[in-house]
Chain A
Amino acid sequence: MQYDLVISRLVKEFGTFRAVDDVSFEVPKGSFFSILGPSGCGKTTLLRMIAGFEEQTSGRIEISGQDMRGVTPNRRPVNLVFQHLALFPMMNVAENIAFGLRRRKVPAAEIRRRTEEMLERVGLPGYGAKRIHQLSGGQKQRVAIARCLVLDPKLLLLDEPLGALDLKLREQMKVELKKLQAKVGTTFIYITHDQSEALVMSDTVAVMNRGRFEQVGSPQELYMDPQTPFVAGFVGDNNRWEGTVEEVEGETVLIRTDEALVFRARRKADAHKGPATLFLRPEAMVIDPVGTDGLNTFPAVVKAILFDGANSRLLTVTPSGHELLAALPQNRAFDHIRPGAEITLGWHPHSGIVFARREERP
């Protein structure tokens, strides 16, 4: 497989603080790669090193097989879409898009042709003469991407460009970005703290925490099969129990939670007898299951109904006061449930996963 970006053992230190801590990964040509992590996890620093605005402390960045050490941002075959887009307010839309081509001394006629072509491609034909402040948020977004794509970069880096948009537009832009990437075939590297953006758009997602990659995989893998407690807690909603593993039987464990409920659940590699954490997705819970064979069950009281269309949840609480979210399918079978109702929740041992509890790294 051909890789557009190969990063090996990359480290960036600011004084004594390690912002990026020994990160290695590669991005195949033409794929949509996301780096997902909470703010302050080092993802922006990583992106700025790829773009060339920061120099790595150690390690290697290779773009299309070429080492990028000492290459300034204006000479790297990558372009960055900034968080706040950074469109040039002193120029109109066409001049913004033509900026990079002008710097490359492309003939004027070709600049005009390629600018118009690009505007058409992002769905803004005839917008060339508009000023930046006349555009809506979504249009600015598209101009910012067009300004980079017109240069045919090997990599397009995107630094949370959807963050400033309102929710409705963000949903729409997610789909649009994904379609655009499929159309132009450029490798996209997208960083975000919004897991839904990463899951919806990406071919591959890397989850980053405290300067390290916790897990790299397809969105499905991250969601279904998290390798670390951080990924389990960060990607998607998850219920969490602290407890103790009492028995290990191959791939399943018997765990007793701190409130003395006993469950069977799937075991993760490092789980052994002793303190452990159990994660369970809200949609894994079945409300008032008919047959309880092989299911873990426990009683709970409905505290509130969090109605959100297809994504509705029940906020329930166990007898000892532990709050849990359970998916509430909107198929009218549960219309009778009211706050205060006593219900039974059941789940299959395969859907809960148990990690050995580790002391959090400082």
Chain B
Amino acid sequence: MNRSGLFWLFLTPVLLWLFLLIVLPHVDLFILSFRTDEGWSLENYANFFTEPIYWLTFVRTAVYSIITTLLTLVVSLPVAFYITKLSRPRVRGFLMILLLLPFWVSELVRVYGWMILLRESGVLNYLFLQLGLLERPVEMLYNDATMIMGLVYTSMLFMVVPLVSVMESLDDSLVEAAYDLGASKICIWRTIIIPHCKPGITSGAIVVFMLVLGNYLTPNLMGGKNSLWFTEQIYNQFIASFNWNQGAAFGFLLLALSSCIVWVGLKLTGQKLGEVAS
């Protein structure tokens, strides 16, 4: 078999996968989103704008996803720096395993783990009561702060890994040179380390943002009824209201939103998607 034949042989499964499981269903959903029981209509999209609960959840989800991404970045930068620059090589592998370990367990189990810790009758409340720090148990679940913490926890690995790989290529003497030339520690982060890590930060931020925006489990379980996530609206339309047309429209709005925010983010930091992906 010649080279191009071999090329197509290996490419076919990928193309089939993409076409049958990604492209085809999306085309079908796209058509569905423009239909109602009476025929073709823009009503599904109009509903979104006329009903405040829909677009408010939408805006909330977008804003909280951005906040979560930023928080994840802030938490991951020192972690990645410690792993690559401060820890000894032998400890480094061990620390990476520690980071990976929670991800061997399914997200559902991890979230339930948090719930056991945080709920009203949970471990933390019990401890605080025993220590006399609290007089009565406090409900720590089902609020925005807890939900965001859960989301940061679930997505941190996807930020740390690209940061570690990009920080490994940072020459230590650059940091020392900046220090020698009079820069303070904060200034070194701002002028040397972060600019160097830009590609890693961008790819990590895109992955984390997409994961958080499309997450259903963590907002649902840890945020509860007080912290609605847009994915829950989509779920409700498909499963609870059985209104597939409306659900499809919401799905496409979410897709448009995420593409839009990633595009704006790349523009703001002056980068191109192709450069980041390579």
B240: CB under 8 A from chain A? no
B173: CB under 8 A from chain A? yes
Question: In the complex, what residue of chain B is closest to A74 when comparing beta carbons?
Answer: B182
Closest-CB distance, B180 to chain A (whole angstroms) = 5
Chain B residues with Cβ below 8 Å from A80 are 176-177, 180
B180 touching A88, Cβ below 8 Å: no
- Complex alpha-carbon distance, A99 and B187, angstroms: 11
Chain B residues with Cβ below 8 Å from A75 are 182
A30: CB under 8 A from chain B? no
Known: A88-B192, A100-B182, A103-B181. A53 touches B176 (CB 8 A): yes
Beta-carbon contacts of A84-123 to B below 8 Å, as 1s and 0s? 1011101000000001100110000000000000000000
A154: CB under 8 A from chain B? no
**Which residues of A, 173-191, contact B by the 8 Å Cβ criterion?**
none
- Complex alpha-carbon distance, A99 and B188, angstroms: 11
A84 touching B181, Cβ below 8 Å: no
B177 touching A88, Cβ below 8 Å: yes
Known: A90-B196, A99-B191. A73 touches B176 (CB 8 A): yes
- Complex alpha-carbon distance, A99 and B184, angstroms: 12
B176 touching A74, Cβ below 8 Å: no
B178: CB under 8 A from chain A? yes
Known: A90-B195, A99-B191. A79 touches B181 (CB 8 A): yes
- Complex alpha-carbon distance, A228 and B137, angstroms: 79
A151: CB under 8 A from chain B? yes
B139: CB under 8 A from chain A? no
B176 touching A88, Cβ below 8 Å: no
Closest-CB distance, B214 to chain A (whole angstroms) = 33
- Complex alpha-carbon distance, A82 and B181, angstroms: 12
- Complex alpha-carbon distance, A80 and B182, angstroms: 11
Closest-CB distance, A97 to chain B (whole angstroms) = 10
From B174, B184, B192, residue with most partner A Cβ within 10 Å: B174
A79 touching B187, Cβ below 8 Å: no
Chain B residues with Cβ below 8 Å from A148 are 181
Chain B residues with Cβ below 8 Å from A88 are 174, 177-178, 191-192
Known: A82-B173, A86-B173, A103-B187. A74 touches B179 (CB 8 A): yes
Closest-CB distance, B23 to chain A (whole angstroms) = 40
B171: CB under 8 A from chain A? yes
From B171, B177, B179, residue with most partner A Cβ within 10 Å: B177
Closest-CB distance, A68 to chain B (whole angstroms) = 13
Known: A86-B173, A90-B195. A99 touches B180 (CB 8 A): no
B183: CB under 8 A from chain A? yes
From B178, B182, B183, B192, residue with most partner A Cβ within 10 Å: B182
B174 touching A86, Cβ below 8 Å: yes
- Complex alpha-carbon distance, A148 and B196, angstroms: 22
Chain B residues with Cβ below 8 Å from A104 are 182
Known: A88-B192, A90-B195. A103 touches B182 (CB 8 A): yes
- Complex alpha-carbon distance, A103 and B179, angstroms: 10
B176 touching A86, Cβ below 8 Å: yes
Chain B residues with Cβ below 8 Å from A267 are none
Chain A residues with Cβ below 8 Å from B184 are 74, 103
A43: CB under 8 A from chain B? no
- Complex alpha-carbon distance, A99 and B182, angstroms: 9
A147: CB under 8 A from chain B? yes
A253: CB under 8 A from chain B? no
- Complex alpha-carbon distance, A83 and B172, angstroms: 12
**Which residues of B, 147-191, contact A by the 8 Å Cβ criterion?**
171, 173-174, 176-184, 187, 191
In the complex, which range does the number of interface residues on chain B fall in?
A: 10 to 19
A51: CB under 8 A from chain B? yes
Known: A86-B176, A88-B192, A90-B196. A151 touches B171 (CB 8 A): no
Closest-CB distance, A207 to chain B (whole angstroms) = 26
- Complex alpha-carbon distance, A84 and B177, angstroms: 11
Question: In the complex, what residue of chain B is closest to A79 when comparing beta carbons?
Answer: B180
**Which residues of A, 134-156, contact B by the 8 Å Cβ criterion?**
147-148, 151
- Complex alpha-carbon distance, A272 and B174, angstroms: 53
Closest-CB distance, A159 to chain B (whole angstroms) = 9
Known: A88-B192, A90-B195. A103 touches B174 (CB 8 A): no
Which residue in B173, B176, B178, B196 is a CB contact (below 8 Å) of A99?
B178
Question: In the complex, what residue of chain A is closest to B182 when comparing beta carbons?
Answer: A103
- Complex alpha-carbon distance, A188 and B243, angstroms: 79
Beta-carbon contacts of B28-64 to A below 8 Å, as 1s and 0s? 0000000000000000000000000000000000000
B176 touching A82, Cβ below 8 Å: yes
- Complex alpha-carbon distance, A152 and B174, angstroms: 20
From A84, A87, A99, residue with most partner B Cβ within 10 Å: A99
Chain B residues with Cβ below 8 Å from A72 are 179
B181 touching A151, Cβ below 8 Å: yes
Chain B residues with Cβ below 8 Å from A51 are 180
B173 touching A73, Cβ below 8 Å: no
Chain A residues with Cβ below 8 Å from B183 are 74, 99, 103
Beta-carbon contacts of A50-94 to B below 8 Å, as 1s and 0s? 011100000000000000000011110011101110111010000
From A53, A86, A103, residue with most partner B Cβ within 10 Å: A86
Question: In the complex, what residue of chain A is closest to B174 when comparing beta carbons?
Answer: A86
16 contacts between A and B (CB under 8 A): A53-B176, A73-B179, A74-B181, A79-B181, A82-B177, A84-B173, A88-B174, A88-B191, A88-B192, A90-B192, A90-B195, A99-B178, A99-B191, A103-B183, A147-B181, A151-B181
Given A83-B173, A88-B191, A103-B184, 5 more A-B residue pairs with CB atoms under 8 Å apart are A73-B180, A75-B182, A88-B177, A99-B178, A99-B183
9 smallest beta-carbon distances between A and B, as pairs? A86-B177, A103-B182, A100-B181, A86-B173, A90-B195, A82-B173, A74-B182, A73-B179, A80-B180
